[in-house]
Chain A
């Protein structure tokens, strides 16, 4: 038995027939072909599957696809607009906020939501805002730094510019 759903994913409306039990994360990965949203715990502790539903951060392993019917879903693939990285993506890159990169999409989505709701979070607010996301590589030090740096950039303040790798690749004459 299937049910029809209409979901707008990253700005594009799709209509699909799905089983009522199909989790949103599986819908995104297997039906919509967007594999940037990851599954790491199955029990909603880790946040690797975080996406935005109508602009709100949600763990997509804990939502049935049918619950997203008629709603707008944004995944990590839809965060960069017009080929320009979202400031949170840029900050994760600048600050080495990722290593293996598996938890990263979830962290970036959760951080983007946090900064939308609270553009100037304190360290404590960053910790509370991201306590639903787990990372095993970074010890969180550079993730915190990245969120602070993205916050600054989004306020148009002390934005870190992209340090393009090519720009420092030219040998220094000496």
Chain B
């Protein structure tokens, strides 16, 4: 009887010793002999025609190896950057984006020239000497104006500024609205955000002349994608292109797409016949690494007087930026999840993707799910306020209660218990007492508020049956498990960890499944040279898909080991019992063989007839469904009416991600995720000048990443509703915190300001915004 010993254990991460002693191997730590350094000259204009580029002074500068412009890459970079279907296969237009602008720039930060020099200081010096003659053109910044026919264009060769216009109708929306006692409307914004991993991007490209062979070290979440696309554009087959992504200092979605600089550095290495290193500085990063969100939702809800929700109509206006992000349309998933964890008779959603002269938006932690949660949770509170009901009561009345549940758009929620997590959260925060205290404080002129967020999210992306038609790729995951002759185990997987602790949690799974010591297991990821083709890490998919791929390979290894044991014991395979890595004949556990012994035998002579040597397996796991984590977060705040400052008094979260492999890692993912959502609610906003398109938040001084002093204590708890979708019973937890938290804070602030007659608050709820709203309400 197998006893689980590692799965579920709080063990320290094996990743940490090198990271706490300064021995990590991040991209800027990679140094090669004869390596040159690249600096990127970027457009200072949001929109301009390039009349000419004079590189003569830069070429003559000290230490310069080469100065390259678009013309130099003709015939070297063979195609434009990829754009995935995501949720909108039929886009209105997919303009080509080349990694470097030739004659027209469309966002401030777009590459126009490269300087390759002996060191970074000299490359940056010479980059200052590149003279670009620009003819500025009007910057298109306002998405609603950009939509209007006849608007100035983001790029002059396009018919208009519309990237997509997709409708998602589900059910008879007119009938649902006809039944309504109340119909309420609200515009809800989702400001642009910088994902802001602490490590900026970077890469080191080593093109070996005459061999057409490349090694590209890069800070990516998806090494196999990068190889596929950069290799393809440079005409280098996968067999000769190795991508290595060692330690990566955070990603949060911004390191999914293959980026222009990965193409350019590789091409520059080819042209200069030297290894080329490029490390993004922070100001570059804020303008040239993809942004998140950047959306406006116009929402209309129909409800009955008793709080029953009937219908939901909304339009998502999404600021694509100058070019499609590779996965920009993924955020359209907000349309399919806009109903949240509630029963609606009908939902009609529409998404319009609009180009502007800004950096592209692409997935950022949650990607579409925070937006869906924010809009539906805000709307539920607006309904509750209108009807004079407790927000918890409206939620309880409308929760989906039986599972599996097919939502309005045909997506199947695998398991859940929404009421249980809300009840737990309400108990943990002492809801009744908190409401009473709120009343007492209001009488004293103090403004406290309580905000709910009951969320469900989609992750474990994804079953090929769904992702192949929608995204254009079958997002399965791969593994290779190899038991060496003396029993140590190498596991290779196609996912990529950049803070998630996979080396620890995957090894926990393998230890239990193979019954071998945890310390005998080595997990490899992030190197296309020694991992099977995989789709990488995003969408909280690694455990539910990658972890299951590892399980599948472990099962194959155990099956073969059973055959080996049966052969050794001269018994029938059916009589072999496997118990924590020990193989014996039923009824005779004292004469058992360890997996290591069977592994040793597997590489020797005298195997069962027809069996090949070795003990290893490769598997690709294609999940039967997505997985659906859920939970309830409750936030308690106080707003100072004189300054507009918000203090978070309590933050209680009850999350359910199914079975847990390592509770310490799960809690850590939640802490960080919640912090990012709180930060969106209170602080962060990418700002461009609305006239000129200049980046206004171009340093960390201007863009507010919270410090320790701004973050509350997180009171975490969990319920466990195993997923029926996979054998491990796991869901995903990488994004849940972010998906849930922004609206818990905003609902709390809105609740606090209700005495002023304030019914809705936009993000970021900075003191100046709240102070102005209070002032206006008082007037």
Q: Could you tell me which A residues sit within 8 Å of B by CB distance? A: 19, 21-22, 29-30, 34-43, 45-46, 48, 75-77, 79-80, 85, 89, 92-94, 96, 98-105, 108, 126-128, 130-144, 163, 165-166, 168-174
Most buried by A among B16, B281, B283, B737: B16
Other than the given A99-B672, A100-B198, A139-B675, 11 more pairs (CB < 8 A) read A19-B121, A79-B21, A85-B21, A96-B667, A99-B669, A100-B250, A102-B26, A102-B247, A126-B708, A139-B737, A140-B675
B15: CB under 8 A from chain A?
yes
Shortest beta-carbon distance, A130 to chain B, in Å?
5
- Closest residue of chain A to B3, judged by CB? A174
**Which residues does chain B contribute within 8 Å of A29, judged by CB atoms?**
28
- Do the beta carbons of A45 and B21 come within 8 Å of each other? no
- Do the beta carbons of A127 and B511 come within 8 Å of each other? no
- Do the beta carbons of B713 and A40 come within 8 Å of each other? no
**Which residues does chain B contribute within 8 Å of A42, judged by CB atoms?**
281-283, 699
Interface members, chain B 194-212 (any A CB < 8 Å): 196-200
Shortest beta-carbon distance, B360 to chain A, in Å?
20
- Closest residue of chain A to B665, judged by CB? A96
Q: Could you tell me which B residues sit within 8 Å of A by CB distance? A: 1, 3, 5-6, 9, 11-17, 19-24, 26, 28-29, 119, 121, 196-200, 247-250, 252, 281-283, 498-501, 511, 515, 517-519, 580-581, 664-665, 667-669, 671-676, 699-701, 705, 707-709, 711, 713-714, 737
- Closest residue of chain B to A34, judged by CB? B22
- Do the beta carbons of B5 and A172 come within 8 Å of each other? yes
Cα–Cα distance between A170 and B520 once the two chains are bound (Å): 11
- Do the beta carbons of B5 and A103 come within 8 Å of each other? no
- Do the beta carbons of B701 and A131 come within 8 Å of each other? no
Cα–Cα distance between A20 and B581 once the two chains are bound (Å): 62
Shortest beta-carbon distance, B33 to chain A, in Å?
14
Cα–Cα distance between A163 and B13 once the two chains are bound (Å): 10
Shortest beta-carbon distance, A27 to chain B, in Å?
12
**Which residues does chain A contribute within 8 Å of B119, judged by CB atoms?**
30
Shortest beta-carbon distance, B777 to chain A, in Å?
32
A77 in contact with B700 given A135-B198, A137-B250, A141-B711 (CB within 8 Å): no
**Which residues does chain B contribute within 8 Å of A30, judged by CB atoms?**
119
**Pick from A75, A102, A127, A131: contact of B198, CB under 8 Å:** A102
A139 in contact with B701 given A100-B249, A165-B14 (CB within 8 Å): no
- Do the beta carbons of A35 and B5 come within 8 Å of each other? no
**Which residues does chain B contribute within 8 Å of A170, judged by CB atoms?**
5, 517
- Do the beta carbons of B672 and A171 come within 8 Å of each other? no
Shortest beta-carbon distance, B677 to chain A, in Å?
10
Cα–Cα distance between A130 and B711 once the two chains are bound (Å): 13
Cα–Cα distance between A129 and B707 once the two chains are bound (Å): 11
- Closest residue of chain A to B708, judged by CB? A140
- Do the beta carbons of B247 and A101 come within 8 Å of each other? yes
- Closest residue of chain A to B716, judged by CB? A141
- Do the beta carbons of B499 and A101 come within 8 Å of each other? yes
**Which residues does chain A contribute within 8 Å of B252, judged by CB atoms?**
136
Cα–Cα distance between A143 and B249 once the two chains are bound (Å): 17
A99 in contact with B500 given A93-B20, A171-B3 (CB within 8 Å): yes
**Which residues does chain A contribute within 8 Å of B672, judged by CB atoms?**
99, 136-139
**Pick from A21, A41, A93, A140: contact of B17, CB under 8 Å:** A93
